[in-house]
Every structure is written in C-alpha cells, then in structure tokens.
Structure 1
Amino acid sequence: MKVVKRLIGQRCLGIEINARGELMGLQVLVDKKDNVVLGEELTGMNEIQAFLDEHPLTPIALSVSSDEIIYSRTDQQLDDQSMSDLLRQEVPSFDPEDFLICYLDGFYGFARKEAISEHTSALSAYADQVVLLGFGPIPAYNLALTLREETSDRLTVGSYQFDLNDTDVQEITPQDLEVGGLTVAAHQVPAFLVAIGYFQGGLGMMGYPFAKNDENLWYGMLLNKLWKPVLFSILALLMVNSALFLHFNSLNQELNEQSVLMQNLSDRRATLASYIEQNRQIARLGERESAFAIISDQIGATVPAAVTMEQLVLSPQSADRRAESAYQKEKVLLQGITTDLKAFSLWVNRLEGMPWVSRVASQKLTETNGVTRFELALIRHVEES
C-alpha cells in the first residue's frame, strides 16, 4: 500500500458535519515529495456531491460534531480491548456492535450508531468512499500530539485548546491554523484536520463498517491511473506480435516455395540422371555391337582352313548375373573345331599378336574321333568408362 501511495500521491476530501448538520468540504493533497497542498473548498451538499461524482475514487474523511457524542480522557494508553473494557464500565449493557468509537492516546469519544447515521445520512450514497470518521476534538488532538515537540504543551488547534499534561480541553473561537508553512482558514480547519488525520494514521476506530474502503480505493486509483499505459502496452505487444507473425509467415511461405523449387529440381535431376543412364546403356550396347563386328571381322580374316569357328562371344557373363558388372568386358570367347593342331597353334599365335589382344587367358582342347574341339579365352585391352 505504501508503494501505491508513493507512486500516485495521496489525496483526501475532508468533510466537516457540524452540530447543525451543515457540510463543508476541503480537498487536501500530499504530493510525491510529501508536501501538503490545499485543494478545492466545497460548501454544502450540492458542491460536495458534484465533486464526488467527478472524482469517484476520492477517499472521504468525516469530522462529526454532535450533542450525541460523549468525550472523555483517561491516563491509560488505549487500544480496542482496553477501550471496550472502559466503556463497559461507563455504559450499562454496553455492546460494541451498537456504538461508534474514536480514540487516540487516552482521549476518546463515542456515540450510538443510529445517532451518527442520521447525522451523516446525506453522504450515505458515498459510504464505500469513507475511510475515517473523527469525532469533534479528537482529530485536532491528533495534530496537537504531532506538534508537541515543536511548541509548548499548551496548544491551540482550530477551535480547541489542549493542555497535553492535563485532561483539560477547552473549546474556543475558531482560529486560523499555521502548520508547516501552510495557512488554513479557521472555517476550513475541521475538514483539514480530519484529512490530515487520515494521512497520519493513528486514530483508533471501533464499530466502523468501512475497514476495507481505504485499500479498495487506492487500488482503484492505481488501476484508473495505469489502465491507459497498460492498454497501450497490450496494444503495442499485439502490434509487435502481428508484425512478427506477418514477417515469419512471409518467411515461411518463401521457405516453402524454395523447398518446392528444390524438390522440383531434385525430381528433374533424377529424371535427367535416369535419361542419361538409359542413353549410356544404349551407347554401351552400340559400342558392344560395333566392337563385336570389328573383332568378328578381324578374327574371321585370320581363321585357317583347318579351323571351323562355331561361336564368338564378346564380354560373356560371369557366374554372378545380378548386375552389369557381372559382364566380363575384357574377355572374348572363341569356340569351334580343328583338324590340324599345328595350324591351330599358329592361328592362336597370330591372334595373340593382334593389337587389341592383351593375352590368351586359357585354351581348352578336347579330341573326339580325330576331331579336336577347342575353346579359347582372349583378354583384350578395354578402356574404363
């Protein structure tokens, strides 16, 4: 609560209701530097009502003077418990629920609730703004205790004269009040004192129905002061959030487009690779057919009369036929029969001397009924592709 008050400053509307039921109001403010400032003076209920309707969160401190209020002083320091015990001795059949009590130090005043309610009925519509109800001289006594160190023990505050070493309180002609360099006119003093009593604290109150009003009003004032900055902050956050959303949404769309483009490029690359591979296989097939024709012609031109060629295989398959690598690109397989092994041997030597032949890998001869069946495996020079 102190932090809240320091943040937004303090203000209070002090209202005096005299014994004749007349109302006089004075706005009192305490700024952030703890300087007391007198505000607007209000005369009569119409002006007070207009002010409160315009400033609905203003705390109200009431100073009530009435013949119904009984005042007394005691030498003991009072609190709620000792105050109740004291009144039980003074008032037969005392019930705290039936009385309003205001006390400070050893000075106290009390009255029946219905009597004070009739006196303050004009302000019943603003009951939730009432934060203090001071009786007669007690708010003046509160200020007198504050000024005690600065002056003598005999003090005059407004229309009351106090002897702080005695129980005597004298009512005198109202006088102007000089306090802290501030001059308060005599007719403003009661309203001023009760407002200062609210700021100072220290007044004991019993039987009052407005214990939470002060806290509720201060938080209401804080909310009233901060709702615009808070609203603007929320709107700013929403705008920043919207801007970030639009930025990242645009970035996300751009990334999606790039992703689609990359996927299309990848698909086109795969299609191109497949096309190249198909054409490579066709090219290889053409190369094999061309090589077969050349080799076949060259070998055919060297075959002697004693040799009969039955089969020429270019790049025969190996035992593992699951992949293209299973083809033996460098090998040429010749099969046939011969009737003259000497002529056959000369032919093999001639084949081995051809430029494209690296070596004769193997030769297998099988003789049946004077006819020799042969199988030659030539290794040729092959360029890797």
Structure 2
Amino acid sequence: MAKNFVLGIDIGSSGVQSVVAGWDKRGEGLKILGVGSSPSSGIRRGKIIDIEETSKSLKASVVMAEKKSGLRLRSGVLSVGGTDLAYVRSKGLIMVSRANHEISEFDAARALEQCQSNIEPLTNREVLHSFALSFTVDGQFKTPDPTGMVGSKLECEAIFITALSRDIKNVVRVAELSGFMAEDVIASPIAAARAVLPKRHKEVGAMLIDIGAGTSSLAVFEEGLPISLEVLPYGSANITSDLAIGFKTTIDEAENMKKNFSASSASSKKQAADIISARLSDIFELTNKHLKKIDRVKLLPAGVVLTGGGARLPDLPDFVKDYLELPVRMGDFEETRMPDGLDIGPWSVAVGLCIMAYDASQGRPGFGSNLTAKTKNAAFRWLKSLLP
C-alpha cells in the first residue's frame, strides 16, 4: 500500500526538533516514525542570527530522525517563531459575481483577497496564514461559510498572521544549506495549537501558551479559528538565568535546580520559588495584557492549554490558573502518539507541522488549506525568487 511521509522541523531557541511521520491510503491516521533533537546554535529568542550554525543544528536533528525512521527525506515543513510574529485583522466587501446572486467559492475567495488588499502596506513583512473568520451577506446575515447562499453583497472579516520577510527567508536558507527543501513555513504557535488544542476547545474559546526557552507564544481561538497571536520575549531560559544569579551558581546547576525544584531543601526551595514566581509573573502579566487587548480576560470557557519545553515546571498549571483565573490543563496529542518515554511539550510544534501536512493531503479544511493556499503559495514564490 502506498505510503506518504512528512518531515516536520521546529527551529527553537534551545533545540531543533525533527519528526518524521507517515500515513497510507487505508486511513489509519498519522504515525510518528522517528524523532531527532539537536541543541540549537545560531538562534536567539526563536530567531536565526547565524545561518551556518543553525544549519548544522538542523542537519544533526534531521539525520537523527531519519536514522530512527529508516527513511531519507529531502524536503520538510519548517516553523518560524520569534517576537516579530504578529497578526492583523481586516474586512473586505465585494459584489457577488453570478447573475442569480448565488454565492460561490470563488466569491468567498475574492472577499478574502479584498480583506488582504485593504491591509495597510506590510513593510518588510509577508503573510504566512490567512483565515476567514466570518462572512456577512447583504450586511445582515453572518455565517462561517456563505457558499450556496443568495445575496448581492458579500463582506468578509479575516485575520492574517505575518512574519518578517527576512525571518522566513532565513528559515528557507537554513534548510537549503542543510540539504533540504522547505516545502512550507508555518508560524510555530499555529502548528503547536494544531497538535495540542482539542477541536472542542478551539470552538468554545481557548488559549494556547507555548513556553519555550527564549520566548512564550500565545494563540487565542474561538469558533475553531485563531483570533489573536503574540510571542512574548520571556521563556524558561530566563528562569534559569534568574536562578543562576540568585544562587550565585552556574547555568547548568541552575537548570538542574529548576528541573528538580520539588527535591530542594526547605530554605533553598523558598528562595527558588520566589525567583521562579517573579519571572512567571512577568510572563503572565503580559499574557493578561494580551487578553485585555482582545476583551477576553476571564472569558475563555475552555481556558488555557500549556505546552512547550518550559511548561513542565512543578505546580505551573495551578500558578497559571490563579493568575489568569481560567481553567488550565497540560497539552496532549489526540491524533497521534509520541514514542514511549518522550515528553510531549518540546515536540508540539514539530508534531503539529506533520499533522498540518497530513490535513492538507486529506483535503481537510484547516490551517493553510483552501482559501489560504493562494496567499501562501504567492508568498513562497516571492521568497524563492530572492534566494541565490
């Protein structure tokens, strides 16, 4: 039976995580076949600052995943992160094209394109993802899918996830130097959300918080779609640095102290708790500011889902629950399984990249498919034209 394979590569601040996954025509779903991890070099706060060093880290990670899977892949789907990821919302209005005023998929696509045309010029930025949040027919009836309805005017409200052009170009270049072709580049919070946010949570309202080493990524969902996104400039590495300063010890010892916090003596445990709590307060104060900006403070019924390598701090869910006054749970994979013994958190982005590739192969509506495909393909043609 013919089988399809995908390579998902998450370029993070502390490590490059690679996942090889596959599926066949029997409809048995996505299976993880091999994983690889390599310490990051040339990356700071989720952004590539040294192309050659990053390419070495990426290649080492991919080679490990390929060896475990028994496959050799020459292309993959990669993540892009960092504090310059952003979003913008826009509206667009068109006249329905058919004489009988029946709205077609073409009309919906035109309305989405008009939304993008109405955005202020994006200086040195490119659209990674576009999502039609809702359509309004003749200024009265709102629907997520207007196809087949009758009306003379169609308005669309959409959200666009953007990244700096140089950041996307750097990701593509790193892949090429490592001997791989970048099939697609996806915003890391969108990929992580696809892996660990349950469909029901995304429908009723939930926030993903992905705590990495150098940054913490936020993505808020309602009615199955992202309504906001932000990457904060703090992560678990900041906690390690704070502990090293507070205890006048080495970074390695501070990292071990953070991981084994519950085993510390009573006196050192209180001091460590104060240091960790102070830095977490920085992260979740900014998180609350984000929720306030979008009028969702204490108003997400499904609450918060935590993921990322930095999300395994002892008692973190309780801390977040008290700070944000929302229900909190740790993220888990519902559509695939990690090899035994591996923590889910550090792999959520790489696994999400693979799931999104699988979704596209199955023709499922979702991130990057259907109405968003034209926008993304155009951006990629532009990127490749700039590469030597």
Fold conserved between structures, TM > 0.5: no
Answer with 1 or 2: which has the greater Rg: 1
Tell me the TM-score normalized by structure 1. Answer: 0.42
Of Structure 1 and Structure 2, which has the larger fraction of its residues in helix? 1
